[in-house]
Amino acid sequence: MAYLLPILLYLISTTGEIVSDHRKIRVDDDVYCESWRFSVETNDAGYWSTVPARCVQFVQDYMTGDRYRYDSEVVAENSLRFAKTVEISDSGSDGWVFDIDETLLSNLPYYQLIGFGSKTFDEESFDSWVDLAEAPALPASLSLYKELKQLGFKIFLLTGRSEYQRNATEKNLLYAGFTNWERLILRGPSDQGKPAIVYKSEKRSDLQHEGYRIHGNSGDQWSDLLGFAVATRSFKLPNPMYYIS
């Protein structure tokens, strides 16, 4: 029987190596894609146009699984915790800015059809989706929105969508449960072609010049949050599907 031991050990080691190699291939992709997503969320990745091919399935699993929902809930909880520390004045000048796409409204039904960011952005097809006005709310953001209204914040919606999409955008927001915002700001003719970070900074600056104090700003892109005339606190929601500079 002693001669069987080396054979048994060989078979175990060989099987383990195969399993190990198989797991290594799979785990390496998961680890790489998690690290890639981390670099996106921290803005270390800089400009990128499409999700890496090896990470498309990872992004799909993330966006359609529990993790995306949990991450969004944590952002909303942190936002509300800060909001409750703000002393709201009677002047009506305490503001909070929200982006819309992937911040208040989820375009996941659209991105499910086009590969979760694996293809270059197509403005025509996205505009057709916007016209449907059927994007659902991000549940955590809807809850935060309602809480901020109750606390007394004036809500400003600052989106990269264009002025001609106002009716569809308002219809969609109401459909998703968002009501009583102070102002919906869209790109006008003079805003076309401006980088998002410039356009949104200018619009926040306009609000400040009107006397509003921007305590909080919520967005899924760093270009929603950075630049000038920034909020006291900015809150980045997760979005590994696309990048806007």
Tell me the whole-structure pTM to 2 decimals.
0.88
| Burial class of 170 by CB neighbour count within 10 A (0 to 12, 13 to 18, 19+) | middle
Alpha helices by DSSP H, the chain: 4-41, 56-64, 66-83, 108-113, 123-132, 139-151, 166-176, 196-209, 222-225
pLDDT, tens digit, for every residue of 92-127?
999 999 999 999 999 999 999 999 999 999 999 999
Locate the domains of the chain by residue range.
1-44, 67-236
Domain 67-236 fold:
Rossmann fold (3.40.50)
Vertex 114 angle, CA 125 and 234, to 5°: 85
Note the pLDDT tens digit of each residue in 122-142: 999 999 999 999 999 999 999
d(CA 120, CA 110): 14
Q: List pLDDT tens digits, range 55-67.
A: 999 999 999 999 9
Query: Which residues, at least 6 apart from 157, have a Cβ–Cβ distance to it below 8 Å?
Result: 97, 98, 99, 100, 104, 173, 181, 183, 184, 185
CA 124 – CA 26 distance, rounded (Å): 36
pLDDT at 3 over 70: no
In this structure, are residues 232 and 214 in contact, taking their beta carbons and an 8 Å threshold?
A: yes
Q: For residues 118 and 52, what is the distance between their CA atoms, to the nearest angstrom? A: 7
